[in-house]
Amino acid sequence: MAKRLWLLFAQIVTVFLAILFVIATLKPSWLNGSPFATATNAVVSNDTSNDSATLNPGSYHDAVKRSMPAVVNVFSSKNANGATEPTPEPKNNQKKRNKPKKPPQPNTQEEWFNFFFGDPNQQAPSDEPEFNTGSGVLVSKDGIILTNHHVINGADSIEVALGDGRKTKARVIGSDPDTDIAVLKIDLPNLPQPVTLGDVDSVRVGDVVLAIGNPFGVGQTVTSGIISALGRDHLGINTFENFIQTDAAINPGNSGGALVDTRGNLIGINTAIFSKTGGSIGIGFAIPINLAKQVMESIVANGSVTRGWIGVEPRDISTEVIQAFKLPKNAKGVLISGVLKNGPAEKGGVKAGDLLKEINSKPIDDVRGLLNNVAALLPGSDAKLLVERAGENVTLNIQIGKRPLQEQKK
């Protein structure tokens, strides 16, 4: 008898728990205030399929939600009948920026770098205005926008379109062709939240990144990838190069847009791609935000970027240079092949044929290193150069000059 009663009790409890589970799953509101609510919530807590606020595994929605409103579309136009030099239309560019407009020679580096605005061999009719499309990033509530110099270079009119549909004219505060950074200003009320600037020093190869921009003018678009490399230089894109390389798809129109991390922080300004077709093949380059910020702050404060300069013609050490100038086989540094008359270097005693080895005790390994080290020095300051001349080390003191501004197209 006792066994039958125990079996009946077990069946009743089982049915009761089954009913409770069904109610907790389908109508949890019926249990609000019930002593069973806590227990049943624990039972169903692992089921988040009906929670609209829960992201899918691997989703970067939060990062996009934080950063995308700050990414804008930039439209520049140029009157062909004005005194300005024509700017190519947004087609596949087979030539590097800011170079004389002649067809590239086969098998040269120029064939491989496709920058985002124009084939110099396919000009628009001279009686029609020309238009460029790019992207930009809002970095302050005051309406300061970072973009690329080549996006707005030579433009007569610049218009910015926000993600909320508003459009407005933008003015150029300044630009720096040497780093391909331009700073714009718009005046609109209730601007979106500016993007948060990230820390490039914490970025590592292999980190996931998102590229946000307006590729091919189709509208705001997000692509994802990883950081493929850091500190890319010697590419012949800009005078000063320290690129972040990524395989996130970057296409024409992304230029000037945002490269953000998975928290939505801005870590780079998308600039160029390596491609034979003009489309992305997984090799894109972005200007690190620390460099872009430095240039922006200088432009906002002074209207331009001030860099150091010594007035020399340097050459990297190679086997040919060693043989031609009869240098030691283990020669290190940069060969000074020419010195500008009355320039800082000549006034300080630098001579053609000197092997420049150090600046302020910092070793100089190549022309790029020389350029970056000198550019970082304050014009008017003194610098100590170590050169090798006729097999002997010579220390020279020179006063750093101001780097001449690169001529900009109008």
Identify the pLDDT of residue 259: 94
Residue-by-residue DSSP string for 277-343: SSS-SS-EEEEEHHHHHHHHHHHHHHSS---EE--EEEEE--HHHHHHTT--TT--SEEEEEE-TTS
Q: What is the pLDDT of residues 49-64, one digit of tens each?
A: 444 456 676 788 999 9
In the numeric block, which tokens belong to residue 398?
Answer: 């020179």
Q: Per-residue confidence at 270, pLDDT binned at 50, 70, 90? A: very high
Looking at residue 204, what is its pLDDT?
93
Whether pLDDT at 409 is above 60: no
The pLDDT score that the predictor gives to residue 369 is 84
pLDDT value of position 120 = 46
pLDDT tier for residue 251 given thresholds of 50, 70 and 90: confident
Q: Provide DSSP, 53-108.
A: TSPPTT--HHHHHHHGGGEEEEEEEE-TTSSSPP---SS---S-TTS-SSPPPTTS
What pLDDT score was predicted for residue 57? 67
Within 10 A of 355 (CB to CB), how many other CB atoms are there?
Answer: 22
Locate all alpha helices (DSSP H) within 102-211, ordered by sequence.
Answer: 149-152
Task: Show which residues are catalytic.
Answer: 150, 180, 255
Q: What is the mean pLDDT of the chain?
A: 79
pLDDT in tens, 274-296: 766 666 677 889 999 998 998 99
| End-to-end CA gap in the chain | 103
Q: Which residue bears the tokens 């992207």? A: 135
- Encode pLDDT of 162-202 as tens digits: 988 899 999 999 999 988 999 999 999 999 999 999 988 88
pLDDT tens-place string over residues 71-123? 999 998 877 554 444 333 343 333 334 333 444 444 444 444 444 434 445 55
Q: Is the pLDDT of residue 336 over 80?
A: yes
Query: Residue 5: in which H helix or E strand, if any?
Result: helix 2-26
Q: Which domains does the chain have, with CATH numbers?
A: 2-44 (no CATH), 70-185 (2.40.10.10), 200-302 (2.40.10.10), 308-402 (2.30.42.10)
